[in-house]
Amino acid sequence: MNKIIEIAKQKGVEAEVLLKEDHSTSLSYQNGRLEEVTKRNIQDFSLRIIKDSKTSAVYGSKPKNAEKLVSSAIELSKNGSPAHFKFSDAADVPNLKMTSGKTKKLNIKDLQEFGEDLISRLKKFTDVEPDLGIAMDSSTTQIKTTSGANLKNKTTTFSASVLLKIPESASGIYTYVFDKKPQKIKDVELHALATEYKYFKKKIIPETGILPVYFYPGTFSSLIYAFICGISGENLVKKISPLENKIGEKIFSSKLTIEDNPLISGCIHSVPFDDEGVPTTKKYLIEKGVLKSFINDLNSAEKLKQTPTGNGFKHSMFGASISTPPSPFTTSIYVEPGDKKEKEIIKGIDKGLYVKQFLGFHSNDYIQGKFSVTVGIGYYIEKGKIRGALDKTMISGNIYDVLKNVAEISKDVKDTHLGRIPGILCEKVNVSGK
């Protein structure tokens, strides 16, 4: 990295080098039996340059031959995109401890013991043979720029998941845990999973109409994803965001407060800087229903004449790689929980749905907040009790309407792909059934 930066300076170009290293071991179980052990050691890098107000990038697995890399990037810049920003400079970043020595020391035998223990404990509650995933990961991200940024962040992650496949279905129900240090899935969660499995003995098609819907943290995350598209500086630049000029306006229920918080202790999404070397900060996106902030990467911030927010990540809806250009995305979402547990909320529903998994939510018009989606896993609630599993059910609406009508937010939170999120009960959702 140092050599690349040195040569870039010699050639009179601005440069940014991002290096990512990842070492992982994972075990996969099918029907209660160990099927596959996978070890991966990956190193990827990207080099971005700015020359004559144009930017270009080259990528690879290892930054060899620094002279050739810089020369290739310079040649590509002749037909590069206009550069409306400068690379990050030296800055103080939050001091986060995101590693665990216990996770680093885990070997295949240790992971297998976690798996066997999980299977043994699950048998106390069900005879169904589970699929499991047990994994450990250790990663390092480094960024250096010709402007003086020189940053490094290390993380470790332990994850465990258990899935019970639904008969005559391509889907299944699951529970999981992930943390920087090894954690067991608790017996109470395994018991809840076994209980949930029994709901599929009865399939229910609800009446078409407007019903209250309780969104599990994972499906609530999908609604939040649509909101993130709305606050993206990139979409504001393109003038396709429905939230343009709405800072300070109430767009959701006053019960809803959403933070972008990269500093949450123990949350694996916590991060001290983004993929452009900009320090991350805690910020309110929604405070009691009021829109407070947009998120920017370096490029969108410059175009909007705003300050970079530390949200430039190599992220996309369908997965990301080292070659994915940075774009605005959140660090770690935190939704302020309510004061009732999920069970209490369900007891208060006369007729409604519990939606745990979607099918095909990614195919909707995210940016405008619209959705029309099949319920993959969900349950019908009547008189405060789950009566059976949903069948042939769709829900639809717009998050900017649905999230105005929030009845309850659960006290229980779950770490999801977006951050730490509770479940939420929305009063008026369009349901298509029979």
Which pLDDT belongs to residue 302?
Answer: 96
Tokens of 268: 């694996």
Architecture of domain 2-195: 2-Layer Sandwich (3.30)
The Cα–Cα gap between 428 and 377 comes to 20
In whole angstroms, give the CA distance from residue 178 to residue 163: 15
Instruction: Give which of 131, 365, 325, 142 is closest to 240, Cα–Cα.
Output: 365
| The pLDDT value given to residue 339 | 96
Residue 311 contacts residue 329 (beta carbons within 8 Å): yes
Q: 238 forms bridges with which residues in the sheet?
A: none
Instruction: Give the Cα separation of 205 and 302 in Å (integer).
Output: 51
| Euclidean distance between CA atoms 419 and 108, whole angstroms | 28
Tokens at 311, concatenated: 């949200």
Q: 2: closest CA among 146, 137, 161, 218?
A: 146
Contacts for 399 with CB less than 8 Å, ≥ 6 apart: 223, 226, 227, 369, 371
Q: How far apart are CA 374 and CA 3, in angstroms?
A: 52
pLDDT at residue 364, rounded to an integer: 63
> pLDDT 10s per residue in the chain (434 long)?
899 999 999 999 999 999 999 999 999 999 999 999 999 999 999 999 999 999 999 999 888 889 999 999 999 999 999 998 999 999 889 888 899 999 999 999 999 999 999 999 999 999 999 999 999 999 999 999 999 999 999 999 999 999 999 988 878 999 999 999 999 999 999 999 999 999 999 999 999 999 999 999 999 999 999 999 999 999 999 999 999 999 999 999 999 999 999 998 778 889 999 999 999 999 999 999 999 999 999 999 999 999 999 999 998 766 778 889 999 999 999 999 999 999 999 999 999 999 999 987 765 688 999 999 999 999 999 999 999 999 999 999 999 999 999 999 999 999 998 999 999 999 999 999 98
Structure-token pair, residue 285: 């996106």
Q: What is the 3-state secondary structure (H, E, C) of the chain?
A: CHHHHHHHHHCCCEEEEEEEEEEEEEEEEECCEEEEEEEEEEEEEEEEEEECCEEEEEEECCCCCHHHHHHHHHHHHCCCEECCCCCCECCCCCCCCCCCHHHHCCCHHHHHHHHHHHHHHHCCCCCCCCEEEEEEEEEEEEEEECCECEEEEEEEEEEEEEEEECCCCCCEEEEEEEECCCCCCCHHHHHHHHHHHHHHHCEECCCCEEEEEEECHHHHHHHHHHHHHHHEHHHHHCCCCCCCCCCCCECCCCCCCEEECCCCCCCCCCCCECCCCCECCCEEEEECCEECCCECCHHHHHHHCCCCCCCEECCCCCCCCCCCCCEECCCCEEECCCCECHHHHHHCCCEEEEEEEEECHHHCCCCCCEEEEEEEEEEEEECCEEEEEECCCEEEEEHHHHCCCEEEEEEEEEECCCEEEEEEEEEEEEEECC
Q: How many CB atoms lie within 10 A of CB 302?
A: 18
pLDDT reported for residue 267? 83
The pLDDT score that the predictor gives to residue 320 is 77
Supply the pTM of this predicted model. 0.94
Delimit the CATH 3.30.2290.10 region(s) of the chain.
2-195
